[in-house]
Amino acid sequence: GAVVSQHPSRVICKSGTSVKIECRSLDFQATTMFWYRQFPKKSLMLMATSNEGSKATYEQGVEKDKFLINHASLTLSTLTVTSAHPEDSSFYICSARDEGHSGYTFGSGTRLTVV
């Protein structure tokens, strides 16, 4: 089945630094990937849609300069949290859809803690 690999699984960084999260589709190509954010005991909130070779589409209220998305190839999308602050601490999850099959596959998530 379709597999999405997300790395790192957890990261701790200092305030003011930037953190990059990678999302890879391992056995399929994904022209579109999706980034979600999840707070404790809450649902997944869509942050942005990552489009291969073009700019990402951000949801209302999500700062594009804060959460930089790059989708340079058909198998890799990256989310960079720039100048991270403690309020950016959260669980970030990526997703991709294998257009050859129904259903969306999710990465295992990245636990970001900003201290």
Residues that bind another protein (CB under 8 A): 6, 31-32, 34, 36, 42-46, 49, 51, 91, 93, 95, 97, 99, 102-109, 111
CB of 16 to another protein, least distance (A): 26
Could you tell me how many helices (H) and strands (E) the chain has, helices first? Answer: 0, 11
**45 closest CA partner among 2, 91, 5, 77:** 91
CB of 89 to another protein, least distance (A): 14
C-alpha–C-alpha distance, residues 12 and 3, integer Å: 25
Select 5 or 70, whichever has its Cβ closest to another protein: 5
67-73 vs 57-58, strand pairing mode? unpaired
Select 10 or 85, whichever has its Cβ closest to another protein: 10
